[in-house]
Amino acid sequence: MTEHSLWRFSRALQRALNDHQFDDLANMIDDEVEWAIYGPIDMFPFLGARKGKAAALEVCRQLADNVSVRRYDREAIMLGVDSASSMLRYSFTALDSHKPISLRLAEFLQFKNGKLTSLRVLLDTFDLVEQALGQPIKLPKIA
């Protein structure tokens, strides 16, 4: 039984983000990957949609320049033959301010021949923005 691509991808991503070693990750990303991390791109230019391996790796380099991963916990996971989805709670450290950032996200991944062909990530973006600003945004109650 072969190890699921999700585990190899997760290790390679962790190694890229925390050790700035991108070779394993590059080997796991399909040349034509469809990549999207949905969120406010004005504040976080590394969010948004990308097409192709070079663009996806550049996003990971920017992430690695901005945060390190302290830990993550998988709160839900589903594995298919060539696909995976997961809800995770990540604890990052912002490298410039050394501030902790705690973030829930959902990822939907597709693989083909052991390479990532599609990544879609949804973030709890309001929570992220407030933590990055370092202060709450005042909201009206609407319901």
Min CB(80)–a second copy separation in Å = 6
Of 49, 54, 55, 78, the one binding a second copy (CB under 8 A) is 78
Are residues 86 and 119 in contact, defined by beta-carbon separation less than 8 angstroms? no
Give the H/E segment covering residue 17: helix 5-19
d(CA 27, CA 73): 25
Q: Indicate whether 108 belongs to the interface with a second copy (CB under 8 A).
A: yes
Of 9, 22, 35, 46, the one binding a second copy (CB under 8 A) is 46
Residues that bind a second copy (CB under 8 A): 38-40, 42-46, 62, 65-66, 75-76, 78, 80, 83-85, 87, 104-106, 108, 120, 122-129, 132-133, 137, 139-143
